[in-house]
């Protein structure tokens, strides 16, 4: 038992000793590594400093060369300046000689003054005569220019009046043609609707719109189409859409086909707006159910909206509630903008 304890103690000693040596070895390795890193950094720093010194020496050498070249240039400049000063001295001497030659005696100067005075007097007399002549000529020229200006102004006004009259005539002819064309299209569409629908339903002779009483289509407060009314509604609307969308000449001039729901003034505006919108949408949904192949065409032209009681019908100043509760189907021409332009033009010319 004592032998085992002794053996265990020895083993622990050597393990501790091995750990100590390993730690010392690790510390030694770290020191070596730090020394190596420090050495590399020092070498790199010395190398950079050496390069900077080399650059500084190169710059110093270049500065010396520049200084030598500048000194040489200054020597040349001084030589050129000395030569220029000598030439200037020669020029000054020549100028003094020329001034001496130009000097006149007092008598010669007095004679020249008299001649100059006489010349100025003669010139003033001639100048006065010339000014008087110019004034007379200017008056005559101004009179001629005034007459010419009046004549040009009258001529310009005459041309402007003629051009304005010609433009007015052209605009009037264009307006007449547009009105005739637009009126002819709407009249043709309304006439076609009358021929197709006959006397089954009234058509507005001016707009071509049709009115369907709500009492025939819907129960009170409801937006579901009555089953017994669907057949009659289809018989009425099918020929109406056939005229508007079946004839290419008419279809090309149609902008929109609108289904509008209208109510009377009983109840609030918002409740009636909701009801009128739902009724218009019910009619539109019913039209879409006829033939799915035609739906893309209907999507291009057909729309539905509710008007609540914003467009009631009055008779003798009193609201006709039964007539106000209705579904209206109307169309607009694609050249509506052209009509507005024509109306604006006509108002401007009044």
Domain boundaries, the chain: 180-349
Closest CA to 271 of 304, 217, 326, 308: 308
Contact status, residue 329 vs residue 212, Cβ threshold 8 Å: yes
Q: How far apart, in whole angstroms, are the C-alpha atoms of residue 122 and residue 132?
A: 16
pLDDT tens-digit profile of 122-149? 666 756 776 666 677 666 666 666 666 7
Rounded to 5 degrees, φ, ψ at 22 are -65, -40
pLDDT tens-digit profile of 289-339? 998 888 999 999 999 999 999 999 999 999 999 999 999 999 988 765 556
Closest CA to 239 of 275, 203, 278, 293: 203
Q: What is the fold, at CATH topology level, of the domain defined by 180-349?
A: 60s Ribosomal Protein L30; Chain: A; (3.30.1330)
pTM given for the model: 0.47
Closest CA to 233 of 306, 282, 283: 283
């Amino acid at each position: 038992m004592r032998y085992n304890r002794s053996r265990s103690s020895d083993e622990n000693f050597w393990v501790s000793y091995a750990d100590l040596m390993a730690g010392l070895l690790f510390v030694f390795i770290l020191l070596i590594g730090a020394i190596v890193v420090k050495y590399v950094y020092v070498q790199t720093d010395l190398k950079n400093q050496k390069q900077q010194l080399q650059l500084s020496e190169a710059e110093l050498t270049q500065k010396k060369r520049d200084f030598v070249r500048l000194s040489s240039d200054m020597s040349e400049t001084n030589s050129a300046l000395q030569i220029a000063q000598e030439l200037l001295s020669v020029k000054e001497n020549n100028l003094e000689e020329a001034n001496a030659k130009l000097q006149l005696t007092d008598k010669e100067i007095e004679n020249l003054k008299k001649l100059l005075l006489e010349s100025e007097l003669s010139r003033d007399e001639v100048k006065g005569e010339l000014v008087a002549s110019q004034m007379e000529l200017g008056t005559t020229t101004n009179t001629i220019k005034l007459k010419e200006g009046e004549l040009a102004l009258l001529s310009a006004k005459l041309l402007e009046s003629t051009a304005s009259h010609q433009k007015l005539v052209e605009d009037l002819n264009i307006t007449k043609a547009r009105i005739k064309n637009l009126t002819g299209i709407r009249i043709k569409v309304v006439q076609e609707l009358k021929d197709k629908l006959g006397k089954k339903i009234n058509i507005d002779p001016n707009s071509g719109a049709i009115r369907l009483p709500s009492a025939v289509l819907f129960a009170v407060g409801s937006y579901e189409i009555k089953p017994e009314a669907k057949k009659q509604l289809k018989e009425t609307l099918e020929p109406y859409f056939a005229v508007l969308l079946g004839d290419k000449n008419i279809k090309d001039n149609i902008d929109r086909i609108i289904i509008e729901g209208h109510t009377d003034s009983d109840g609030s505006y918002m409740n009636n707006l909701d009801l009128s919108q739902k009724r218009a949408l019910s009619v539109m949904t019913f039209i879409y159910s006829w033939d799915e192949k035609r739906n893309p065409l209907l999507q291009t032209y057909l729309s539905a909206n509710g008007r609540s009681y914003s467009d009631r019908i009055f008779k003798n100043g009193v609201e006709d509630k039964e007539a106000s509760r209705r579904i209206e189907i109307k169309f607009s021409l694609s050249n509506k903008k052209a009509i507005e332009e024509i109306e604006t033009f006509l108002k401007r010319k009044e």
